[in-house]
Amino acid sequence: MHVITEAPNAFDFIVVGGGTAGCAVAGRLAESEHVSVLVIEAGISNPGDVDAITTPARAFELRGSKHDWAYKTGMIDRPEYTRIEKPNTRGKVLGGSSCLNYYTWIPGSKATFDDWEEYGGAEWNWERCKEYFYKPATYFDDPKVYSPELKYIGAGGPIKVSHSNLLPETKEFRDSLENAWVEKGGEITYDVHNGTMRGLWKSTNSIYNGKRSSSWAYLEGKSNVAVMAGTHAAKLIIQNNKAIGVEVIGPNGQPQQLRARYEVVVSLGVYESPKLLMLSGIGPKETLSQHGIETIVDSAHVGQNLLDHPIMPHVVRLQDGIGLDHHLLRAGPEKDAATSAYLWKNKGPYTSGLLELVGLPRIDDRLMQYPEYVAAKEANGGKDPFGPGGQPHFEIDFVPMFSDAFQWHFPTPPQGDYLTIIVDLLRPQSRNGVVTLRSTDPLEQADISLNFFSNPLDLIALREGVRFVYDLLGGMGDLVKEEYPWPMPLTSDEAMTRQILERSQTGFHPCGTTRMSKDIGQGVVDGTLKVHGIENLRVIDASVIPVIPDCRIQNSVYMLAEKGADMIKAAHPELYK
Ligand SMILES: Cc1cc2nc3c(=O)[nH]c(=O)nc-3n(C[C@H](O)[C@H](O)[C@H](O)COP(=O)(O)OP(=O)(O)OC[C@H]3O[C@@H](n4cnc5c(N)ncnc54)[C@H](O)[C@@H]3O)c2cc1C
C-alpha cells in the first residue's frame, strides 16, 4: 500500500473507511494487480508505529486516546432511568477497531448464523459462511500445547491468531477458577470454532508472538492500494441512482471529489456507515426532510436495529500476588521487570491480551424461577428467547487485573491484586437501538442510542448471570477477597437491578444499523450487501449484521468482509479472471 494526500483521476474501487472490514475488503480486491483500490480513512495510516496499539497488554490505554472516536452514547432510556455516556470506543486509525479491540477470536454458534438466513437469504447461514470464518486467519501454536487439529481455525490468512499466552504469574488464579468451574459441573474447552461453544474456554486471540494482529495486515505488500489517511468521508456522489464516487474532507480541511469506475464500498462501521448513507440521501424520508436533505432512496431501516451486548462488570480483590496489577498497573520492581522482559525478549505480561479464560454458560434453571421469563419462553413457541438453538446465555470474561476500560467511574485501586469479571448478555431481547443525524455536518457525530434494557427481561437475565458468577467465585476459596468498590446486593432483586442500571456498559459489539435483508421493507442492503435502490454501492462492516453473534464479533466482521469481497469479485469477472 502507499499513502497519498491528493488522489489521481479515478480508482476501480473506493473503500470508504479503512477499518476492520474495510482493509480486509480492499486487500482482497487488490489481489488482482491490475485493479486499483483507494481506501479513505479518517485516522492515521501507520498503526504499526504506535506502541500502545501493537503491545497486547496496553489495549485498555487506548480508550479516550486520539485513536478513539469516543462517541457520546445513550446507554439506557427507561421511564425511571436514563444514562448517556462518553467515550464509547471505536478505532480511528487504519485498521479501525481491530487496532483497539481486546483480541478474542471466536466465531459464534451455528444456530445464530442460521438465523441470518431469514434476512440475507440462502447465502447467509453457518454452512455457507463457515469457510469465511477461517479464511482471515493463520493459527499458530509454536509451543505445541494444543491439538494439531486446531489448525482448522485458519491457515494462510493475514490475521495471526494463537491461544492465550498462559502467563506463569496467573497460573494459581487459572487453576483455581478451572477447579471451581469443573466442580460446578462445567467443562473446559480449547475449541469453540466449529459452531458449538460451551464451557470454560482457554481463549484464542488476534495476537501472535507478543504483537497485536489487525486488519491493516491485508494491505501489506499491495502496491495497487492507495490510502488517504486523515481524510473524512462527507457524502457519496450519486448520479441517476448509481454511486460514482465520494466527496471527502482532506487533512487540509479542503473538500475533494474521488471517482470509482466500478463500485463504492462503505465500511465506516456501525455508527458512521448509516450516517454517510443519510447524508447522501439514503435513509428514512422523514429524518432526511427534517435536515433538508433531498431523499434519493426512502430507506426506513437506515440507522435502525442497532444491537449490542449489554455487560455488567464487577470486581473482587484477589489474594496478593495472584493478579497482574503489580506487573502492569503500578510503578515498582514487577512493572520494571515486565517492561524490560517485553522490550528485550518480547516476553512476559505485556505479551498478554489479559483474557486467558472465558466462560460460556447457560443458566436455564435460574431463569425458569421467573414468571416473566416463563411467559416469554411460551410466547416464543416454547423456545428459550436467550438461546433458542442451545446457544450459551453469557460470555463471562475473567481478567485478573483491575480493568478501567469496563468501569471508568471507579478509581483504579492504589494497592492489591484484582479480578475484573465481565458478564456479557449474548442475545438481548432489547432490540431498538438507533443511530440518527444530529445535523448535516459530516464532522459532527451521529446521535447514538443503544437503548439497553428497553425489554426488562434483559435485567432479569443479567442479574442471574451475576449471581451465577458469585456462586462460582465461592468455589475459589481464600483466593477471592472482598468486593470493590462495594458488595453486590445479591439478596435483593431491586438493589441488584439498580446496580445494573448504574454500572452496566457496552460490550463494544454494536451492529445492525444497515442490516442485510430480502427487501427494503426489512433492511438496507440485500444478500450481496448492495444497498437497496442504488447501483454500484455496498456496505460491508458490522452494520450489515442482522442478528447479533452470540460472542464477540470481530471474527464475524472479517467473515463478512471476506465473503463480501468474493461477491464483488464474482460481479466483475472481467477484473478477476
Ligand atoms: C474497545 C473494543 C474492544 C473489542 N473487543 C473485541 C474482542 O475482544 N473480540 C472481538 O471479536 N471483537 C471485539 N470488538 C469488536 C470488533 O473489534 C468490532 O466489532 C469490529 O472491529 C468492527 O469492525 P468494522 O469494520 O465494522 O468497524 P471499524 O473497525 O470500527 O472500522 C470503521 C473505520 O472507518 C473509519 N471511519 C469512520 N468514519 C469515517 C469517516 N467519516 N471518514 C473516514 N473514515 C471513517 C474509522 O476510523 C475506522 O477505521 C471490540 C471493539 C472495541 C471498540
Q: Which atom of ligand 1 is nearest to the CA of 69?
A: 47
Cα-Cα-Cα-Cα torsion 271, 275, 276, 282, nearest 10 degrees, comes to: 130
Provide the 8-state DSSP code for 261: E
Q: Which residues pair with 259 in a beta bridge?
A: 10, 245
CA dihedral for 57, 61, 63, 68, sign (positive or negative): negative
- The Cα–Cα gap between 37 and 226 comes to 6
The conformational region for residue 565 under phi > 0 = left, psi -120 to 50 = alpha, else beta, is: alpha
Place of cell 488476534: 206
- The Cα–Cα gap between 83 and 193 comes to 36
Q: Which value, in Å, is the radius of gyration of the alpha carbons in the chain?
A: 23
Burial degree of 196 (CB within 10 A; 0-12, 13-18, 19+) = middle
Place of cell 504469574: 169
Query: Is this model's pTM higher than 0.95 or not?
Result: yes
Closest CA to ligand 1's atom 12: 554
Question: What confidence tens digit (pLDDT) does each residue in 190-242 have?
Answer: 999 999 999 999 999 999 999 999 999 999 999 999 999 999 999 999 999 99
Distance 90 CA to ligand 1 centre (A): 5
Number of residues that make up the chain: 577
Distance 518 CA to ligand 1 centre (A): 26
- The Cα–Cα gap between 95 and 101 comes to 10
Distance 270 CA to ligand 1 centre (A): 8
What is residue 408's predicted lDDT score, i.e. its pLDDT? Answer: 86
Three-state helix/strand/coil letters over 9-72: CEEEEEEECCCHHHHHHHHHHCCCCCCCEEEECCCECCHHHCHHHHCHHHHHHHCCCCCECCEE
**Mean pLDDT, the chain, whole residue set:** 96
Burial degree of 172 (CB within 10 A; 0-12, 13-18, 19+) = middle
What is residue 8's predicted lDDT score, i.e. its pLDDT? Answer: 67
The conformational region for residue 512 under phi > 0 = left, psi -120 to 50 = alpha, else beta, is: left
Closest CA to ligand 1's atom 16: 554
Closest CA to ligand 1's atom 2: 101
- The Cα–Cα gap between 313 and 403 comes to 9
- The Cα–Cα gap between 432 and 429 comes to 9
Q: Which residues pair with 88 in a beta bridge?
A: 71
Does 203 sit in the ligand 1 pocket, CB within 6 Å? no
- With bands split at pLDDT 50, 70 and 90, how would you rate the model's confidence at 5? confident
Q: Is the pLDDT of residue 7 over 70?
A: no
- The Cα–Cα gap between 501 and 518 comes to 36
Q: Which atom of ligand 1 is nearest to the CA of 442?
A: 41
- The Cα–Cα gap between 515 and 531 comes to 10
Distance 554 CA to ligand 1 centre (A): 8
Does 224 sit in the ligand 1 pocket, CB within 6 Å? no
Does 552 sit in the ligand 1 pocket, CB within 6 Å? yes
Strand-strand pairing, 297-298 and 211-212? unpaired
Residue-by-residue DSSP string for 218-236? GGTT-TTEEEE-S-EEEEE
- The Cα–Cα gap between 86 and 64 comes to 9
202: cell is 482457554
- The Cα–Cα gap between 516 and 399 comes to 34
Question: What confidence tens digit (pLDDT) does each residue in 488-516 have?
Answer: 999 999 999 999 999 999 999 999 999 99
495: cell is 438493589
Question: What confidence tens digit (pLDDT) does each residue in 533-562 have?
Answer: 999 999 999 999 999 999 999 999 999 999
Q: Which residues pair with 204 in a beta bridge?
A: 163
556: cell is 464475524
Residue to mutate, 46, 508, 545, ligand 1, most ligand atoms under 8 Å from C-beta:
508
The conformational region for residue 209 under phi > 0 = left, psi -120 to 50 = alpha, else beta, is: left
Does 308 sit in the ligand 1 pocket, CB within 6 Å? no
- The Cα–Cα gap between 451 and 77 comes to 6
Q: Is the pLDDT of residue 3 over 90?
A: no
Mean pLDDT score, 289-294: 98
Residue-by-residue DSSP string for 504-558? -EE-S--B-TT-B-SSTTT-SB-TT-BBTT-BTEEE-SGGG-SS--SS--HHHHH
Question: What confidence tens digit (pLDDT) does each residue in 109-165 have?
Answer: 999 999 999 999 999 999 999 999 999 999 999 999 899 999 999 999 999 999 998
Closest CA to ligand 1's atom 53: 90
- The Cα–Cα gap between 293 and 93 comes to 29
CA dihedral for 179, 362, 554, 310, sign (positive or negative): negative
What is residue 406's predicted lDDT score, i.e. its pLDDT? Answer: 87
Q: Which atom of ligand 1 is nearest to the CA of 22?
A: 25
Tell me if the bond preceding 349 is cis, omega within 30° of 0: no
Note the Cα 216 to chain centre separation in Å.
16
How many CB atoms are closer than 10 A to CB 372? 12
Q: Is the pLDDT of residue 352 over 90?
A: yes
CA atoms within 13 A on the CB side of 11: 28
Does 267 sit in the ligand 1 pocket, CB within 6 Å? yes
Question: What confidence tens digit (pLDDT) does each residue in 307-336 have?
Answer: 999 999 999 999 999 999 999 999 999 999
Is the Cβ–Cβ distance between 103 and 355 less than 8 Å? yes
Does 12 sit in the ligand 1 pocket, CB within 6 Å? no
SS3 202: strand
Does 353 sit in the ligand 1 pocket, CB within 6 Å? no
Does 90 sit in the ligand 1 pocket, CB within 6 Å? yes
Closest CA to ligand 1's atom 46: 92
Does 309 sit in the ligand 1 pocket, CB within 6 Å? no
Mean pLDDT score, 242-266: 96
CATH top class, domain 173-202+310-425+454-503:
alpha beta
The conformational region for residue 119 under phi > 0 = left, psi -120 to 50 = alpha, else beta, is: alpha
CA distances from 366 to 61, 349, 467, 528 (A): 37, 37, 9, 41
Distance 66 CA to ligand 1 centre (A): 15
69: cell is 472516536
213: cell is 494482529
Q: Give the start-to-end residue ranges of the domains of the chain.
A: 1-124+215-306+508-577, 173-202+310-425+454-503
- The Cα–Cα gap between 461 and 71 comes to 27
Tell me the percentage of the chain whose pLDDT exceeds 90.
96
CA dihedral for 29, 31, 36, 38, sign (positive or negative): positive
CATH of domain 1-124+215-306+508-577: 3.50.50.60
Is the Cβ–Cβ distance between 247 and 257 less than 8 Å? yes
The conformational region for residue 389 under phi > 0 = left, psi -120 to 50 = alpha, else beta, is: alpha
Residues 6+ apart with CB under 8 A from 130: 195
Does 157 sit in the ligand 1 pocket, CB within 6 Å? no
Burial degree of 132 (CB within 10 A; 0-12, 13-18, 19+) = buried
Closest CA to ligand 1's atom 18: 554
